[in-house]
Amino acid sequence: MKDDTTLINKVLEQIPNKYMAVIVGSKRARAVNDETVRPLVKTSATKPTTIALEEISAGAIVPGPAMPEIEAPKETEEELLPSPDSSEEEEE
C-alpha cells in the first residue's frame, strides 16, 4: 500500500483540480462501498476511499461526463403476442 501523501500527489497529477479530484474520488468510493462495481486495479486496500484513490492514481478512473445508461427496449404485450388478425391472414 502506498504512503498517503504519495497517493494524494499521484491523484493530483491525474486530476490537477483538487475539488474535482475529491468529487471523482468520493463518487467512485461510494460505488465501491455499495458493491455495485468491482475495483479496477489490484490492491491490498480494504477501504473504499483508498481503493478509489488508487484507481485514480493508476489512471483507471478519469473525470468526465457520466455515461448515459442504456435502457433495454420495452416490449409491449402486443409486440410479444400475435394479433388475432394476423393469425387469420396466415391461415388463408
Q: What confidence tens digit (pLDDT) does each residue in 38-57 have? A: 888 898 888 999 999 999 99
Task: Answer for the pair 46, 88: CB distance below 8 angstroms, yes or no.
Answer: no
Residues 84, 78, 83: CA angle, nearest 5 degrees: 10
Q: Which of 5-9, 13-17, 30-34, 82-86 has the lowest mean pLDDT?
A: 82-86
- Cα separation, 41 vs 51, in Å, equals 8
**Helix H segments across 34-82?**
48-58, 77-80
How many angstroms from the chain centroid is the CA of residue 25?
A: 12
CA pair distance 49, 52, nearest whole angstrom:
5
Residue 58's nearest CA partner among 43, 46, 41 is 41
Residues 4-58: name the CATH superfamily.
Answer: RNA polymerase subunit, RPB6/omega (3.90.940.10)
- The pLDDT of residue 22 is above 90: yes
**Which pTM does this prediction carry?**
0.64
In this prediction, residue 57 carries a pLDDT of: 92
